[in-house]
Amino acid sequence: MLSILVCIKQVPDTQKAVFDPRTGVIDRSGTENIMNPDDLHALEMALSLKDEYGASVTAITMGPPQAADVLNEAHALGVDRCVLVSDQRFAGSDSLVTSKVLSRAIVKLGAYDIIVTGREAIDGNTAHVGFQLSEFLQIPLLAQIHKFKINKDSAIIERLYGHEYQKIQVRLPVLIVVGKHANRVRIPRLADIKTCTDKKIIVMTMNDIGGTEEEYGAAGSPTVVIETEIFSHKRGKEILSGDMNEIIDILVHRLKKHNILRY
Amino acid sequence: MIQKNIRRFASEVLEEWANVLDRDSKPLPPHVVREMGRLNIWGIQAPAQYGGAGLDTVGYSIVIEEISRVSAAVGLGVSVHNSVCLAPLLKFGTPEQVERFVPDLASGKKIGGFTVTEPQAGSDAASIQSTAVSDGDHYILNGQKTFVTNGGIGDVFLTAATVDTRKKAKGLALFIVEKSMDGFEVGKIEDMMGMRGNMVSELFFNNVRVPRENVLGSTEDGFRISMQTLDMGRIGIAAQALGIGTAAFEAAARYAMERKQFDRPVGTFQAVSFKLADMKTHLDAARLLIYRAANLKDRSLPYSAESAMCKLYASTTAMQACMEALQIFGGYGYVKDLPVERFFRDAKITEIYEGTSEIMKIIIGNEIIKQFGRL
């Protein structure tokens, strides 16, 4: 049977979050935590593969004890096993260390065929972890997945790559990165919502995954945040004037520059 | 998690149907009914072993509120099916009756209803004219029921009939009647002001032979079971009213912040913001009254008066919220292009069915008399 691992993350609901205008950082005290939206699509990808081919699906998250909430939600959706990688010594880890922690926990959990991650988390928006994880585990990675089929020990993947549509065959194990366009996330049954908190969550600490304290947390993280700015989205308006052919040329040039037109 | 996911179902699946069901007065398409079955919406409180979700009554109230927030007509169907058909079957049914009827009802394969009301018997439920005459292993049922929720689409109806007219309430029995039985007939589908997506209808029983094993409880138990069933049903109707009122409030609040008059959003005028403040306060109070009644029921404590209070308050609040929402929308609230007029039409009936507001006050009043009479 296929073994599928899905990396998920608990994040503050940034759509409802309040930002401190001075530091540009989210005020986490009054912000509700949710499962990262892309990760729901990663779970759905794994669960639909389970429906089609039969598989054991494991959801894994690194975070504080309350991150168990997203694992409960994963249980409600139909995941077979949930793992919380949690240790005070991991606090302050950047994306590189997070990937290191996850990769070591995954190796400890045993053999796997497919790892699925969401494209990016809405709190950091780095979109690093999937890529770094594939490096640590030394397995191929494919992103922007739409369809995923299994053929013996290979996966046949369809994806949108820029403006191209690609079909790729890759030997398992593989890591795939999915975004919100990959699928429609199922709604869990009420019965599964009711029982999801009764299900066991496996907890792993630094002692379980190995390594030294210096490798993890803020100490092990090379990333330094120099400044945070609140992103603002402004719409601009510009009226092109002059000869119609010139205007068209300018417009086509601009659209190409912004990768809206490619050919 | 219950609220979040049912809200998702309501907005992703139900919302596109809400106006269509109302406009065309037709029931949900079968594939949506099936999807609701998969999600356990037809068996919210039925135990998992029978294919239900086994939620408590607070969870049940949340589900009904969220569905009704988008489609009150669907909320009505779900509420009645769960709370006045499935729930009494589970509570008062024999193990055989439970095994026979609950799995199909909990999965939504069959839809249930509960029929007491007759042309001459509304609030005075004990004056039922439908009769059940013993005939060997069967009862022969004759009579007419009106305003039967789920009447046009239902498969199983708990039906009140009198086995002894002289005994009034004590002579009432509840029968599990199936659509497939000979002599069972669906009458006129009511052309209603609101809740038009529910096929509320008349039902006729012409010499329907109901097996003796289809009596729920004993033949003297009908009135008692019906009254207890309605206590439960009222929590559902209160939750439904709350859903409608909340939908009206949210629509009005959004509109009030968008609609500009005199160069500012109308919601920033005190005349409008006070309306919104009242709506929100009353809706939250109604929600707490509902959760209190639900919690008492879950702890197996008496909750009859509390259930009446939450139903009385939530339905009045819903009606008030819809009136104010319509007022805030102005002319746009009066046209069918926007859903506020539908909320308004749907809300009214919550003050009438499952016991009118006046009957609720009688129940609450009797409880006060009982309590203070003892001092």
Contacts of A187 in chain B (CB under 8 A): 5, 8-9, 12, 39
Identify the pLDDT of residue A146: 82
Q: Is the pLDDT of residue B139 over 80?
A: yes
CB-nearest partner of B40 from A72, A190, A196: A190
A67: left (phi over 0), alpha (psi -120 to 50) or beta: alpha
pLDDT digits (tens, 9 = 90+) for A89-100: 998 888 899 999
pLDDT tens per residue, range A119-155: 888 887 788 888 999 999 999 999 888 889 999 899 9
Nearest CA in chain A to B42: A190
Using CA coordinates, name the residue in chain A closest to B8.
A187
Determine the residue of chain A that is closest to B50 in CA distance.
Answer: A191
Binary contact (B38, A191; C-beta < 8 A): no
CA separation, residue A83 to residues A9, A40, A118, A176, B165 (Å)? 12, 16, 17, 19, 65
Which are the catalytic amino acids of B?
354
Among B69, B94, B111, where does a domain finish? B111
Higher pLDDT, B199 or A13: B199
Tell if the CB–CB gap between A187 and B63 is shorter than 8 Å: no
CA–CA dist A210, B273 (Å, integer): 59
Q: HSE (CB half, 13 Å, CA atoms) of A54?
A: 1
Q: Which of B188, B220, B252 is the C-terminal boundary of a domain? A: B220
Q: Which of A72, A190, A195 sits opposite B2 (nearest CB)?
A: A190
Q: What per-residue confidence (pLDDT) applies to A24?
A: 66
CA-CA distance, B25 to B198, in Å (whole number)? 7
Residues belonging to chain A? 263
Please state the domain count of chain B.
Answer: 3
Cis amide leading into B339 (omega within 30): no
Mean pLDDT, residues B81-96: 95
Q: Are B1 and A196 an interchain contact pair (Cβ–Cβ within 8 Å)?
A: yes
Give the range among A113-127, B54-68, B200-214, B241-255 with minimum mean pLDDT: A113-127
pLDDT value at A181 more than 90: no
The shortest C-alpha distance from B45 to chain A (Å) reads: 9
Q: Nearest-CA distance from A24 to chain B in Å?
A: 27
CA distance linking residue B301 with residue A260, whole number of Å: 65
> A-B interface: how many C-beta pairs under 8 angstroms?
42
Residue A191 and residue B39: Cα distance in Å, rounded?
A: 8
Strand partners, B173: B161
- Averaged pLDDT score across all residues of chain A: 90
pLDDT of residue A238: 87
B176 and B311 inside one domain: no
Q: Which of B3, B4, B5 is most worth mutating to test chain A (most A CB atoms within 10 A of its CB)?
A: B5
Nearest-neighbour CA in chain B from A62: distance (Å): 21
Q: Taking Cα atoms as reference points, which of A72, A68, A59 lies closest to residue A86?
A: A68
pLDDT tens sequence across B149-192: 999 999 999 999 999 878 888 889 999 999 999 999 999 999 99
What value of ipTM does the predicted structure carry? Answer: 0.89
pTM: 0.88
Cα A115 vs. chain centroid, distance in angstroms?
Answer: 11
Q: Do B137 and B203 reside in the same domain of the chain?
A: yes
Does B36 lie in the same domain as B98?
yes
Give residue-wise pLDDT tens across range B202-225: 999 999 999 999 999 988 889 999
**Residue B1 and residue A76: Cβ atoms within 8 Å?**
yes
Residue B152 has what pLDDT? 93
Contact between B55 and A194 using a beta-carbon 8 Å cutoff: yes
Do residues B48 and B141 share a domain? no
Cβ A193–B5 below 8 Å, yes or no?
yes
Q: What is the DSSP string of chain A?
A: -EEEEEE--EEE-TTT--B-TTT--B-GGG--EEE-HHHHHHHHHHHHHHHHH-EEEEEEEES-GGGHHHHHHHHHHT-SEEEEE--GGGTT--HHHHHHHHHHHHHHH---SEEEEES--TTT----HHHHHHHHHT--EEESEEEEEEETTEEEEEEEETTEEEEEEEESSEEEEE-TTS--PPPPPHHHHHHGGGS-EEEE-HHHH---GGGSHHHH---------------------S-HHHHHHHHHHHHHHTTS---
B167: its two tokens: 């005994």
**Taking CB atoms and an 8 Å cutoff, what residues of chain B touch A72?**
1
Q: Are residues B153 and B215 in the same domain?
A: yes
Q: What is the pLDDT of residues A66-91, one digit of tens each?
A: 999 999 999 999 999 999 999 999 98
Q: Which residues of A touch B8 (CB under 8 A)?
A: 187
**Which range of residues forms the domain containing residue B168?**
113-220
pLDDT for res A36:
94
Task: Tell which of B111, B138, B164 closes a domain.
Answer: B111
For residues B346 and B307, state if they share a domain: yes
Residue of A nearest to B46 (CA): A191
Q: What is the CATH number of the domain that holds B353?
A: 1.20.140.10
CATH architecture, domain defined by A2-220: 3-Layer(aba) Sandwich (3.40)
The pLDDT > 90 percentage for chain A reads 63
Yes or no, beta carbons of B9 and A72 under 8 Å apart:
no
| CATH number, position B20 | 1.10.540.10
Residue B194 sits in a domain whose CATH number is 2.40.110.10
Nearest CA in chain B to A35: B1
